[in-house]
Chains A and B, each alone.
Chain A
C-alpha cells in the first residue's frame, strides 16, 4: 500500500565515474506543496528528470500514484504536468497553438480549456503572438500554463518564477497555493529560499546528490537567532545565567559572548547580569537569514 503520490526509492544516477544522484529517498503526499532545494549541481534537475522518465535511473525506482513508473510510464505521466528548467516550446507557433499541441500529447483538449489556461496565466491578450516574440516572463507563464492545462494530479515546477517581475512572482505563488488547496500535489524546485518558504508545506534539501534534510518547512527553514553580550567574559556570563541557560549554549564570541538559547528573553539576560553587577556594553539579538541557515545546513552535511 502506498499513500504517497510520488516516491523516489534509493534513486541513483551515475554518469561514468560521477555520481549525480546518490540513493535519494523522497515522498510526496496528496495535496502538499513540496519544496525541493539545493545548490547548483546538487542533483535537483537529474532527480526531476528521473521522476519524469526523461533520464533512466542507474539504480532505485520511482513510484507514481502507487504504481511503479517503469511499469506504465505513459499511463502514469499523463497525470503529471511539468515545467522543467526553461520553458521549451515551438518558437514559430503562437502561445495558443503551443498549448493546443502540448495538450494533445496526452489527449484531446478543448479550445475553451486552452482559453481558460491562457487567462489563468495572464496571456490572453498575447495568445496569438508567436512564442519567439514572448519575454522570458511570458514564456515562463506559458510553461506553467502547459503544466496545469490537463488538470494533472501532480505538478512539477522547476524554478517557476524565473524571469518574472514581482507582480508575476506573487501571481505564480498564489497559483501554486491555489493548486495545493484544490488538492493538486505540487513539487516546486527553486533556489530562492524565501519563495519556497512561502509556498511549501514541506521541503527537501539536496546536496551532492543526497537528500540531507526533509521535513516541515517551518522546522527546517526557521530563521535562527542568538544573543550577543559585548564586553563581558565567558566565565562571568555563564555564572550569571546559571539556571536559565545551559553552559553549552554559552560560547565565546568576538568581543564578548554568544548565547544560543532560542527561548531566552532579552530582559531575563539583562536582569541576571545586573543582579551579578555585570554591565555589558551591549546586549543584542542577532538573526541569521534563510541563506545562512541553508548554507550552514548544506555545508555541515557535506563536512565543510
Chain B
C-alpha cells in the first residue's frame, strides 16, 4: 500500500507539474462559462425564460442554473479526459521514460493502477471545478433577472439530482480516460490514443443517431437489444441514467447522448440504471483488461 501511495504521489507530481493539464482545466472552465452564457442568452431572449416551466424558472430553475452549464461543458470534459489518458499513458512510451520506470523494479500492474488512479483524481477535480464554477455563476443570476432562482431554492431533492449528475459525469470521464489510455497502449503512442479516442467520441455521436434506426430496420430482437445495450448510450451510460427524466427525453439535442431508446414513432423508453450499469461495467471491464494485457504482458521495446 505504501508503495502504491508513493507511486500515486509520483504520478500526481507529474500531472500537476505539466502546464498542459492546467491549460485543459482552464479550457474546461471556459466551456462551462460559455454554456452558462448561452443559457442566460436563451433565458433573456424568451419572455418567459425565468417563469415556472421554462428554462430558468420554477422548482427546477436552480438545478438547471447549476446543472445545465455542466451538462453542456461535459462535452469538452470528455475530450479532455480522453486526452489526459492518451497523454500520460502513451506519452511515456514516446519519451522512452517507461524504460527508466520499469527497469527500477516497479510492478507494472501497481504502476498502471497508480497512474490511472492519479488521473481519475484529476478527472474528479475536473468535474468538481465544473460544478463549483456553475454554482458560483448561478449566484449572479439575480443580478440579471430578479425572478431568477437562487441558492435558497436548493432542496435536498435538487442536491440529490446534482449529486447524480456529478457522479454520472465522473463515470463518463473515467471511461473516456480509460478509452484514451487503452488506445494509447495499443499503439504505444500518445498521439494515436488521443486521435483514436476523439474519433470514437465523435463517431459515437454519429452512430448513436444511426444505429437505433439500423436496429429497427433489421427487425431482429437480438440485434435491437445489442444496439440498445451498447450504443444508446455507451461511455456516457451512467451520466444519461443519472439525469432527471425531463432532460433524458431531449438529451440528444443537448449534448450528443441519446438517453431515450426509440421504441416507436413517438414513444421512447428512457435509459435507466438497469441498462446503464451493465454498459458502463462492460466498458470498464473491456478497457481495464485491455490496459492490463497491453501494459503488463507486453515487452518494452521503446
Give every chain B residue within 8 A of A76 (Cβ-Cβ): 105
Say if the beta carbon of A49 comes within 8 Å of chain B.
Answer: yes
A146 CB within 8 Å of chain B: yes
Q: Would you call B7 an interface residue if the criterion is a C-beta within 8 Å of the partner chain's C-beta atoms?
A: yes
A287 within 8 A of B: no
CB distance from A284 to the nearest CB of B (A): 50
Do A90 and B14 contact each other (CB < 8 Å), given the known contacts A102-B104, A106-B104, A106-B105?
yes
Interface centre among B7, B96, B103 (most CB of A within 10 A): B103
Least CB separation from B297: chain A residue: A56
In the bound complex, how far is the Cα of B98 from the Cα of A101, in angstroms?
12
The answer for the CA separation of A56 and B33 in the assembled complex, in Å, is 51
Contacts A82-B103, A88-B95, A88-B97; A54 near B300 (Cβ below 8 A): yes
A91 touches B106 (CB 8 A): no
B6: chain A residues within 8 A (beta carbon): 104, 107-108
B18 at the binding interface (Cβ < 8 Å): yes
Q: How far is the CB of B189 from chain A (nearest CB, A)?
A: 15
Q: How far is the CB of B205 from chain A (nearest CB, A)?
A: 33
Q: Roughly how many angstroms separate A108 CA and B2 CA in the complex, as a whole number?
A: 10
- CB atoms of B7 and A105 under 8 A apart: yes
The B interface, classified by DSSP as helix, strand, loop or mixed, is helix
Residue B99 at the chain A interface, CB threshold 8 Å: yes
Per the 8 Å Cβ criterion, residues 1-57 of B in contact with A are 6-7, 9-10, 13-14, 17-19
**Per-residue 0/1 for A78-106: is the Cβ within 8 Å of any B Cβ (1 yes, 0 no)?**
10101011101111110001001110111
Query: What 0/1 pattern do residues 196 to 223 of A give for CB contact below 8 A with B?
Result: 0000000000000000000000000000
| Total cross-chain contacts (CB, 8 A) | 85
| B14–A84 CB distance below 8 A | no
Residues from chain B with Cβ under 8 Å of A146 in the complex: 100
Measured between beta carbons, the chain B residues less than 8 angstroms from A37 are none
Query: For residues 47 through 93 of chain A, which have their beta carbon under 8 Å from a beta carbon of chain B?
Result: 49, 52-56, 73-78, 80, 82, 84-86, 88-93
Residue of A55, A73, A84, A104 touching B105 (CB-CB under 8 A):
A73
Contact code string B100-130 (vs A, CB < 8 Å = 1, else 0):
1111111100000000000000000000000
If A80-B103, A93-B14, A104-B9 touch, whether A49 touches B96 (CB-CB below 8 Å) is no
CB distance from A68 to the nearest CB of B (A): 14
B301 contacts A by Cβ under 8 Å: yes
Task: Give Cα A97 to B13, complex, Å.
Answer: 9
Cα of A88 to Cα of B98 in the assembled complex, Å: 8
How many angstroms between the C-alpha atoms of A100 and B14 in the bound complex?
Answer: 11
With A55-B299, A84-B99 in contact, do A101 and B10 touch (Cβ < 8 Å)? yes
Instruction: Please state if A77 and B99 are interface contacts (CB–CB under 8 Å).
Output: no
Q: Which of A75, A82, A92, A102 has the most CB of B within 10 A?
A: A92
Question: Given A88-B97, A90-B97, are A105 and B13 neighbors across the interface (CB < 8 Å)?
Answer: no
- Bound-state CA distance A84–B96 (Å) is 9
Among B139-159, those with CB < 8 Å from A are none
Shortest beta-carbon distance from B59 to chain A in Å: 48
In whole angstroms, how far apart are the Cα atoms of A90 and B18 in the complex? Answer: 10
Q: Which of B99, B102, B299 contacts A85 (CB 8 A)?
A: B99
Q: How extensive is the interface on chain A, given as a class?
A: 20 to 34
A78-B97 in contact (CB<8A): no
Interface size on B, residues (CB 8 A): 25
Most A CB within 10 A of own CB, among B96, B98, B105, B107 = B105
* Contact yes or no, B106 A93, CB < 8 A: no
Least distance between A285 CB and chain B CB atoms (Å): 46
Chain A residues near B101 (CB-CB < 8 A): 105
Q: Would you call A84 and B100 a contact (CB within 8 A)?
A: yes
**A162 CB → nearest B CB, Å:** 14
Q: Beta-carbon contacts of B266-300 to A below 8 Å, as 1s and 0s?
A: 00000000000000000000000000000000011
- Assess the B14–A105 pair: CB atoms within 8 A: no
Query: How long is the Cα–Cα vector from A54 to B93 in the complex, in angstroms?
Result: 13
Contact of A78 among B7, B13, B105 (CB under 8 A): B105
* B66-90 near A? 1/0 per residue, CB < 8 Å: 0000000000000000000000000
Asked whether, in the complex, the Cβ of B300 is within 8 Å of the Cβ of A92, the reply is: no
Chain A residues numbered 87-146 whose CB sits less than 8 Å from any CB in chain B: 88-93, 97, 100-102, 104-108, 143, 146
Chain A residues within an 8 Å CB radius of B9: 104
On whether the beta carbons of A80 and B105 are closer than 8 Å, the reply is: yes
User: Are A49 and B104 in contact, with the CB atoms below 8 A?
Assistant: no
Query: Which of A53, A92, A105 is B17 in contact with, Cβ under 8 Å?
Result: A92
Given A55-B301, A74-B105: A105 touches B10 (CB 8 Å cut-off):
yes
Residue contacts A-B, CB under 8 angstroms, 23 given: A49-B300, A49-B301, A52-B102, A53-B103, A54-B99, A54-B103, A54-B300, A73-B105, A77-B103, A77-B104, A77-B105, A80-B103, A80-B104, A80-B105, A86-B96, A88-B97, A89-B97, A90-B14, A90-B95, A91-B95, A93-B14, A104-B9, A105-B106
> Which residue numbers of A lie inside 8 Å of B, CB to CB?
49, 52-56, 73-78, 80, 82, 84-86, 88-93, 97, 100-102, 104-108, 143, 146
Ordered nearest first, which 9 A-B pairs have the shortest CB separation?
Answer: A77-B105, A88-B96, A54-B300, A52-B103, A105-B104, A74-B105, A55-B299, A78-B105, A82-B103
Known A-B contacts: A77-B104, A88-B98, A92-B18. Give 16 more (CB < 8 A).
A53-B102, A54-B99, A55-B299, A82-B104, A84-B99, A84-B100, A85-B99, A86-B96, A88-B96, A92-B17, A92-B19, A93-B17, A101-B10, A105-B101, A105-B106, A106-B106
